[in-house]
Amino acid sequence: MNQLANFTKGFIKENPVFVLLLGMCPTLGVTTSAINGLGMGLATTFVLVMSNLVVSLVKNFIPDKVRIPSFIVIIASFVTIVELVMQAYLPALFEQLGLFIPLIVVNCIVLGRAEAFASKNTLLSSIIDGLGMGLGFAFALMLLGGVREILGSGAIFGLKFLQGDGMLVFVLAPGAFIALGYLIALINRLKKTA
Amino acid sequence: MTYVIIIIGAIFVNNIVLNTFLGICPFLGVSKKIDTAVGMGGAVVFVLTLAVLVTWLIQHYILTPFGIEFLQTITFILVIASLVQMVEIILKKVSPSLFQALGIFLPLITTNCAVLGVAILTIQKDFGLMEGVVYAIANAIGFSLALVLFSGIREHLDLMDVPKGMRGIPIALVSAGILALAFMGFANLV
């Protein structure tokens, strides 16, 4: 497969959030601001690339029957690394994302790519696939976080451009569902005309 | 009294799906019919309670005494995965009728982040064993309540004349948002 197409498919065509509808919990849970969404997306990207890399390397040594548990152990190890590193160097972001960092383990995108892609493809394509999918996920989270931040608090990346509070509901739980619903409808529309 | 607060808090105020955003995948995936939603809810009540019981014991009798808390994520997910598998095998042998009812939902539960999430939350909130189990049951009931309510809404949505671009997931998400808005009315209840 063309490596460029392999890399770019994660952004729109097979975007994990808008098209495949995977990993919805962190998508809705952490996107109260663009920066949180980006942080979560990049943490997931790291786990995705590293687990794709390792799965692709060991795919021939793992018996078929125990492959899913093995993949989960590999993923969980990298999640633990992210958890410890973030706690040490980015304590503020770690505090914000909280529970959703250990929950990267059960993010369906990571296991999904390991099972559907890395366990069948070469090392290089697996890494590129992980990078593309991860950045696509980060892009989706940043977009949703940005929309919620603009509507909810009249700011973007923490810079306020409106006086007052904005529509508070978009920062709260219901706004996450509503904003994502309309974004998916919009992306579907864009895909049709493109 | 604390139990009452834990139960009301977990079911209504901090509903696990509509407020904490855990278990969204099954919330969107198996909410097309009320029957399947009830089945999934039952399976989650069962597994979540067992999972919290086992992970609590592991945390307090193995991880903490040996000072290896950093292995929490790996240990918990493995325990939950094997637990689900075990429940499936035992249920098949002991109660085929219950297995029939819950069967297809059990494997899906491993990747339900509500289970791992509540297991970790129970440890973070420093609950005792009894409180932890009550918290788990209450959360599972909250999950089932949200799931069943939402599947009822979606059954009605099927009959509605929804604009073409909004059909399917987009309108479902917007309805979930309105449901979450309704649940916000419970804020400050406890």
Q: What is the pTM of this model?
A: 0.86
Distance of alpha carbon A34 from alpha carbon A93, whole angstroms: 12
Q: Nearest 10 degrees: CA dihedral of B175, B179, B181, B182?
A: 140
Rounded to the nearest 5°, which phi and psi values hold at A156? -140, 130
Measured distance between the N- and C-terminal CA atoms of chain B, rounded to whole angstroms: 11
Which chain A residues are within 8 Å of B124, Cβ to Cβ?
Answer: 99
Predicted local distance difference test score (pLDDT) of residue B111: 67
**What confidence tier does A169 reach under pLDDT thresholds 50, 70, 90?**
confident
Least Cα distance to A180 among A131, A142, A141, A144 occurs for A144
pLDDT over 90 at A81, yes or no? yes
pLDDT over 80 at A131, yes or no? yes
Residues 86-105 of B with CB under 8 A from A: none
B171 vs A: CB within 8 A: yes
**pLDDT tens digits along A11-59:** 878 888 888 888 888 888 888 888 889 999 999 999 999 999 999 999 8
B121 vs A: CB within 8 A: yes
Predicted local distance difference test score (pLDDT) of residue B90: 83
Please state, as a whole number, how many other Cβ atoms lie within 10 Å of the Cβ of residue A174. Answer: 21
Distance of alpha carbon A145 from alpha carbon A165, whole angstroms: 16
Q: CB distance A173–B21 less than 8 Å? A: yes
Predicted local distance difference test score (pLDDT) of residue B96: 82
Q: CB distance B181–A184 less than 8 Å? A: no
Strands A159-160 vs A155-156: parallel, antiparallel or unpaired: antiparallel
**Sequence-ordered list of residues with C-beta below 8 angstroms from that of A44, at least 6 positions apart, any chain:** A23, A26, A104, A107, A109, A110, A134, A137, A138
Predicted local distance difference test score (pLDDT) of residue A45: 94
In a 13 Å sphere around the CA of A80, the CA atoms on its Cβ side amount to 16
B120 vs A: CB within 8 A: yes
Report residue A90 as tokens: 């980015």
B169 vs A: CB within 8 A: yes
pLDDT over 90 at A6, yes or no? no
Of residues B99 and A187, the one with the higher pLDDT is A187
Which chain A residues are within 8 Å of B169, Cβ to Cβ?
Answer: 21, 181, 184
Q: Looking at chain B, which residue has its C-alpha nearest residue A28?
A: B21
A176 vs B: CB within 8 A: yes
**Sequence-ordered list of residues with C-beta below 8 angstroms from that of B185, at least 6 positions apart, any chain:** none
Rounded to a whole number of angstroms, the distance from the CA of B99 to the nearest CA of chain A is 23
**pLDDT tens digits along B59-97:** 999 998 998 888 888 999 888 888 888 888 887 888 787
Q: Looking at chain B, which residue has its C-alpha nearest residue A87?
A: B70
Strand partners, A160: A155
pLDDT over 70 at B1, yes or no? no
Among B15, B20, B21, the strongest candidate for a mutation testing the A interface, having the largest count of A CBs within 10 A, is B21
Predicted local distance difference test score (pLDDT) of residue B103: 63
Q: Looking at chain A, which residue has its C-alpha nearest residue B175?
A: A178
Residue recorded with tokens 């093995």? A70
Helix ranges (H only) for A30-172 are 34-58, 67-89, 91-97, 108-113, 123-153
**Sequence-ordered list of residues with C-beta below 8 angstroms from that of B167, at least 6 positions apart, any chain:** none
